[in-house]
Amino acid sequence: MIDLTTFHTCLAQPNARGYDLDNKQKEAVEYSQGSLWLLAGPGSGKSEVLVTRTLKLLCVDNVKPRSILLTTFTQKAARNLEDRLASYLAGLQKADSSLLSVDLADIRIGTLHSLCNDILQEYRYEEYQNVRLLDQVEQDLFVYRYASIANYQDLNFWTQFAHTVPDWRSKDYCPGKWKRAKAAVTLFNHIVEDNIDVDKMLLAGGNWATLADFYQQYTQELRNKYRCDFAHLQGCFLKFLTSAAGKRFLEGDGENQPPLLYILVDEYQDTNPIQERIYLALANQTSHSITVVGDDDQALYRFRGGNVSCMVNFDKACIVALGKSPKKIQLDRNYRSHTNIVNFFNKYITSFPEMIVPGVRAPEKNPVKAASSISGNYPAVSWLERKKAGDLPNAVAGLIKDHLIGDGIISDLSQCVLLLRSAKDSPKNAGPYIQAFQQHNIPVYNPRSKSFMESEEVQCLLAALVQVVDIKHTFKDCKDPKGEPLSWVKTIQEWFQTLYNVKQNLNYSTSELFDYLNRSNLELPKLCASNKESVFLNLNLLEIIYRILALEPFKTWKKDPVKNLRLSKVSRLFDGYHSFKLDGLRSNTDRTGIEPDFLNRFYTMFVSYLIDARIDDDEDEEVIVPQGYLPIMTIHQSKGLEFPFVFVAQLGQKKEAGAAQILERDLEPFRQDIYSRSTRTPDLLAIEDDIRLLYVAYSRAQYGLILVGTQDHIKNHVAAPSRNTTEFRRNTILI
């Protein structure tokens, strides 16, 4: 082990971190008296503090790695922390060989979900044995298939919970089964994550009691089918902590498993109530050593169940659960941005009356101080304005191509970013910007364009599969109650047109694929006819997918990284469907082809889901933005990132209260809170979320922040500080 002075000196060397920490950062690293409440503003080095505090425990305090649990919001963030820990430890080990025995592999590090799963498996917790953990797609499919609520068509019930129903256009008719299933997933997850007392819901009667009954039926089906969703994984883990096995985990069980002594939580502002309970239960040991790090002003994930009040009221939670107030330290020096940018977002977050109400922000927060080396008398914050919204995309493209690149201000397109509320490639979202960038020969990187299902490789793969199992194209006969073809019928026909276009393209060697399709269409009826003893054929959809992927043009497409990611994702989606054992091919009763019920279930349960779910491309988690490409990102994607130049558009859109805000209010009477939380209307919560969203966008830039819009976009809108359009335009450089 090494002393604290040597520890800091070594980490400041070029072969480790390369710089020293400031006084508040060091105070946070060195604090050792119990709970620590770390408020970390944008660009304040919270990840560095978290990593350094962890290394200090290992290398100075001689804490065993197995006694540390470190969680963060995403797997990508967890890997980033692991990489920094390994890099900095290597520098420390060069300075002191006694540290060579420190093994980072023994630290429990990851998302809370992954850690809960791993620990429950490690301790063989009885209620979590032989269970398949459902991902989001599998949970949706499970509810559609097994939850009674998906078949419930009471209009009064769904009207009360209309805010959870996606794209419900005609409120005079009950929403379709898939919409009911998706709404049910939202409701069920909130019941668990908001720590709801289901018995109170039952006593409330009416539609609340009906919902509680459906929830109990769903949880029973999960147990019957040996499944668990991510929300119930957390509930199971909380219960585990009170069991004998949980006691061994917390208090230790010999030399190989020392007691859990230190809990460090990143991005705590996006914690939900049941996660709050878990963290407090983990810390309820003698030392009460829990460190939570985050910024309530950057809370973005209410729509995923996050509740910013967990961060705002961490002191209340510690007093109730641990009997002592936490130490509060604010990291308030911004090492990222030009002074004018820091001043702008400082003024922004405090300029709205909604944000200074008690309980909305953490108490007694100071403004962030500019501390970067970036300086210069130039328009670091500017306003790109045009009279017509349709002229904005070309203005942005021209500024990037002719000024930033043309004048040598940036050397690569990846040094700037366009931030939008939605990056979907559609006329109302990113579509006009993508078109403008193409016209200016600016290549774009946009993995959240919602174009996954529009790509030729995905459409060809799905069309080929349909051609194998549905020779007669019976999907064309699927009609709605009015006798019109169902919406997804046209989409499947478009897939076949894409497949035909690829066949006509001489650049692809498609003979392998079409030879296979022809052979399959000849052989499948023969297989059905020869299948005398069972209605099941020894073949399933997932196996057919793998066979198709082994052929051209898919072999060539898989050499392209983006196309390969998409094809791999299709395989995973089908693996989820396969897990329900619904994709084994069945012959019809006269053994002449595939059973109609099998095809109908395949189309209505799975194909329609793929079409309606607006699936994103997978992102290469090792690459933020490829060199030579201009990134188009949602503001949520940009959280935790920084870019030299940031363009923020779609400013005029107003965030309406949705399921997350309404459920936070409606579920309050049933929530099992351990301290009082401030209550606000869904509309106020939506405004707060909108302000926080733009605060994150405005605090990403290092050298230049460019807001993009018309005068109408910022008129009486939270895009401008105080909603004061006149003052904003007077104090901001127009370009």
Note whether 444 and 437 are within 8 A (CB): yes
**Both tokens of residue 672?**
């099992």
Instruction: Name the β-bridge partners of 646.
Output: 417, 705
Task: Give the count of beta carbons closer than 10 Å to the beta carbon of residue 508.
Answer: 17
Q: Is 409 exposed, middle or buried (0-12, 13-18, 19+ CB in 10 A)?
A: middle
Q: Is 359 annotated as a binding residue?
A: no
Answer yes or no: is 43 a known binding residue: yes
| Residue 235 annotated as binding site | no
Say how many C-beta atoms besides its own lie within 10 A of residue 264's C-beta: 26
User: In this structure, are residues 368 and 342 in contact, taking their beta carbons and an 8 Å threshold?
Assistant: yes
Is residue 114 a known part of a binding site? no
- The C-alpha torsion from 249 through 252 and 255 to 258, rounded to 10°, is 90
End-to-end CA distance of the chain: 57
Q: Is 411 annotated as a binding residue?
A: no
Integer CA distances (angstroms), 389 to 401, 639, 734, in order: 20, 26, 16
Helical H segments across 60-135, by residue range: 75-95, 112-122
Per the document, the length of the chain is 735
Is 41 annotated as a binding-site member? yes
User: Distances in Å between the alpha carbon of 375 and those of 326, 335, 406?
Assistant: 37, 12, 22
Q: Which two tokens stand for residue 674?
A: 């351990």
User: Other C-beta atoms within 10 Å of 377: how many?
Assistant: 6
C-alpha 272: how far from chain center: 14
Contact yes or no for 412/628 (Cβ under 8 A): yes
Strands 536-540 and 584-586: antiparallel
How far CA 7 is from CA of 1, 12, 483, in Å, comes to 9, 9, 74
Three-state SS annotation for 188-214? HHHHHHCCECHHHHHHHCHHHHHHHHH
From start to end of 277-379, where are the E strands? 290-294, 327-331, 333-334, 369-370
Output the CA–CA distances (angstroms, integers) from residue 719 to 327, 383, 687, 712, 728, in the order listed.
34, 11, 11, 11, 10
Residue type for position 70: L
φ/ψ bin of 60: left (φ > 0), alpha (ψ from -120 to 50), beta (otherwise): alpha
Cα 379 to chain centroid, rounded: 34
Enumerate the β-bridge partners of residue 146: none
Check the annotation: does 704 bind a ligand.
no
C-beta separation of 67 from 262 below 8 A: yes
CA distance 518 to 626: 40
Does 613 show up as a binding residue in the annotation?
Answer: no
Say if residues 14 and 104 touch (Cβ distance below 8 Å). Answer: no
CA distance linking residue 557 with residue 523, whole number of Å: 27
CA-based nearest residue to 607, from 524, 511, 491, 708: 491
Nearest CA-CA partner of 59 in 94, 24, 83: 94
CA angle in degrees (0–180, nearest 5) for 683-687-689: 115
Are 168 and 155 spatial neighbours (Cβ–Cβ below 8 Å)? Answer: no
Identify whether 553 is preceded by a cis peptide bond (ω within 30 of 0). Answer: yes
Helix axes 456-469, 541-549, angle to 10 degrees: 130
Which secondary-structure segment (H or E) carries 543?
helix 541-549
Annotated binding site for ATP: 40-47
Annotated binding site: 40-47
